[in-house]
Amino acid sequence: NLRKVEGELGRMEMSQHTGKELMKTHDSDVAGSLMVLLGEDWNFLESQGTDGPSIGGRLDNNTPRSMESSMSSESTNLSTKTVQLQGLRSCLDRASEWMFNVFDLEREADGLPLQVLTWHVLLKHNLIEEFNLDHVKLVNFLRSIESGHLDNPYHNATHVADVVQSMHVIMTKGGIGKFVGRLELLAGILAACIHDFEHKGFNNDFLIKTEDEWAVDSNDKSPNESHHLSAAFRILREPDCNFLHRMDPARQAQLRKMMIDMVLATDMAEHMAIVSKLKSDLQKRLENPDDHIGEEPEESLKTLVMQGAIKIADIGHLYAQHDVHIQWSERLEEEMWRQGDVEKERNMKVSFLMDRDKPGVTKSQPGFVDFVVRPLFETWAACFPDSKILVDRLNDNYNYWKSREEDTK
Q: Which residues are catalytic?
A: 155
Residue-wise over 109-137: b if at least 16 C-beta within 10 A, else e? beebbbbbbbbbbbebbebbeebebbbbb
The amino acid that residue 309 corresponds to is: A
Contact assessment for residue 181 and residue 130, using Cβ atoms and an 8 Å cutoff: no
**The total number of residues written for the chain in this structure:** 409
- Residue 248 burial (C-beta neighbours within 10 Å; 0-12, 13-18, 19+): exposed
Instruction: Let me know the angle formed at the C-alpha of 172 by 32 and 126, rounded to the nearest 5 degrees.
Output: 40
Q: What are the φ and ψ backbone dihedral angles of 143, each rounded to 5 degrees?
A: -60, -45
Q: How far is CA 392 from CA 98, 171, 282, 319, 399, in A?
A: 12, 19, 22, 8, 11
Contact assessment for residue 156 and residue 41, using Cβ atoms and an 8 Å cutoff: no
Cα distance between residue 176 and residue 170, in whole Å: 8
Say how many CA atoms lie within 13 Å of 298 toward its Cβ. 7
Cα R_g (the chain), whole angstroms: 24
